Structure 1
Amino acid sequence: MKAPDWNRTAEDYARHRAGFPGWFYERAATLGLFSPTSRILDLGTGTGHLARGFALRGAKVTGIDIAPGMMESASTLDAEAGVAIDYKVVPAEATGFPDAYFDLVTAGTCWHWFDAAKAAAESRRILRAQGHLLIANLIWLSLPGNVVAMTEALIRAFNPNWNLGERDWQGAAELASLAEAGFTSRESFSVDYDIPYSPEAWRGRIRASAGISASLGAAEVEKFDAELAALLARNYPGDVIQVPHRIVAIWGQKQ
């Protein structure tokens, strides 16, 4: 699958993609991963969902990405939320920040797009001693016959090269990245829960995915969206669809 152009998804991504819930940040704080005085770098920040959650809890946050259009949307959302986040267009593998500068480095559902070995090594370099790298994946769950399985089948029909529905999202690869980069005290947790989407919002969420607007032409995106709308009308005629999701959080500490 070729690298997606995330700038083409910024509007739908900002409007329709659900972010990490409040309890996720509360749990991260309880685990000692951050505090209101923490300096945090969010890798692959996109529209700033993860970064904004930390900023709303007092942390000083910087977000980086290679898609400036996504971060323009992030700044608009930040202003609406009443927070200020510094954004820079740099890759996760070569951030340019000083050694031992951050208390926490985070990556929200984006680690699979990086050169994992280089991103983990760079994260370790810019973390202070006892700082953490936190990789958190928020992913939909494809179960037999559910709305996710139906949607994924339609994505593959339009984009046979799309393969993210077949990934192992349990965190083994991320834990291996941490171990190979020398992070210790490695831990993880996993929580399944439903996120309610209206049919319109689910269509927007899927348009924003790597397999659709980020990869297909405008005419194909429009055709896909019409077919997804028809699928949802047939199978989920109500106002709300409960979509099963999973958060898998993986972290390690720099000694």
Structure 2
Amino acid sequence: MIIQDIDKGRPFDWGKTSEDYAKYRDIYPQEFYEYILQLGLCKDGQRILDIGTGTGVLPRNMYKYGAKWTGTDIADNQIRQAKELSEEAGMKIDFFTSRAEEVSFPDNTFDVITACQCIWYFDHDITAPNFARMLKSKGKFLILYMGWLPYEDPIAGKSEEIILKHNPNWTAYGDTVHPVWVPEQYLRYFDLLSQEQFRVDIPFTKEGWHGRMRACRGVGASMSPKQLDAWNKDHMEMLQKEASENFMVKHYISIAELQVKE
């Protein structure tokens, strides 16, 4: 994938991170899922479409609440992992590979569409009307995000410095608590009902944080093998020096709830 406004146009491929993604990125805390449930969403027989599902983290973690999930992702390796993990857990979730812009179901199919950690990768001129079309009357679109806080958390800050050392084109650094981005195209078809941000501390081991960082866009999805080897060495040396075996990393969660216009 190449997007000129992301990483200065440097290509990235989420399929290269699939194994790490499956192992190390299932890290959303229960507060994240509870917030969605408190909105009355993703439960009790509702039909949900998860765009950019990755390894199916959102459908798999919320499956027990009774919704009927479908997940799509552009990376076939990610979808293979999602299918394997859901089948191992005995979950009946439909996963298939597709670009977000090419996902197509009949009008009024879904109660909710979710987009977690992926809103900036879509062609919104295409996806905004298409999502609205596929949703039922008063259907909801949730834009979901969780990010670490490098200016507040020293481990997160040092990890970003090491990524930038080996991949100076990476542009996803320097995050602060702020509302998740709602592209203007969606406001033509949806009403913005709510936006909220809240802080969370996420537990990690050294291996877990190293794997989480390797699974990010600026590392495993875009570095050459030589760059990745050098990053692995520098990042593990930093963790051995700076981190205990078990530690917390400061994050925040940001969620926007939209509803199809009447």
Shorter-chain TM range is over 0.9
Structure 1 segment 69-88 matched on structure 2, within 5 A: 69-88=77-96
Secondary structure of 2:12's aligned partner: coil
Of 189, 212, 219, the residue aligned with 1:212 is 219
Q: Name the structure 2 match of 1:241.
A: 247
Name the residue aligned to 2:209: 202
Partners of 1:19 and 1:116 in 2: CA distance: 28
Q: Alignment partner for residue 197 of structure 2, among 178, 186, 190?
A: 190
- From 170, 178, 183, the equivalent of 2:186 is 178
Measure the CA separation in 1 of the matches of 2:165 and 2:110: 43
Greater mean alpha carbon deviation, residues 19-28 or residues 69-78: 19-28
Q: State the alpha-carbon separation in 2 of the partners of residues 139 and 26 from structure 1.
A: 18
Q: Secondary structure at the match of 2:99?
A: coil
Q: Hey, what's the Cα distance between the residues in 2 that align with 1:153 and 1:161?
A: 12
Which stretches in structure 1 are left out of the alignment for 5+ residues? Answer: none
Report the 3-state secondary structure (helix = DSSP H, G, I; strand = E; otherwise coil) of the residue aligned with 2:120: helix
Once structures 1 and 2 are overlaid, which stretch shifts more, 54-63 or 97-106? Answer: 54-63
Task: Work out whether residues 196 and 240 of structure 1, in 8 Å CA contact, stay in contact via their aligned partners in 2.
Answer: yes
1:149 is matched with: 157
2:18 aligns with 10
Asked whether 1:92 is paired with 2:97, we answer: no
Deviations 1:164-220 (A, max 9, x none): 1146762363164432x3212521111111111111111111111101111011222
Count of residue correspondences? 253
What is the match of residue 139 of structure 2? 131
Q: 1:117 aligns with which of 125, 142, 148?
A: 125
Distance 2:251 2:239 in 1: 18
8 Å contact kept, 2:15–2:77: yes
Deviations along 1:10-59, one digit per CA (max 9) or x if unpaired, are: 01111111333333333222222333210000000001111212322111
Distance 2:254 2:100 in 1: 20
Q: Is 185-194 or 241-250 further displaced after alignment?
A: 185-194
> One-letter code of the match for 1:112?
W
In the TM superposition, residue 126 of structure 1 has moved relative to its aligned partner by 0.6
Q: Secondary structure of the residue that 1:165 maps to in structure 2?
A: coil
CA distance in 1, matches of 2:64, 2:179: 27
Q: Is the partner of 2:217 in helix, strand or coil?
A: coil
CA distance in 1, matches of 2:213, 2:201: 16
Q: State how far apart, in whole Å, the 1-side matches of 2:197 and 2:73 are.
A: 26
Is the contact between residue 94 and residue 122 of structure 1 (CA under 8 Å) also seen in structure 2?
no
Q: CA RMSD in A?
A: 1.8
Task: Tell me which amino acid in the other structure corresponds to 1:183.
Answer: F
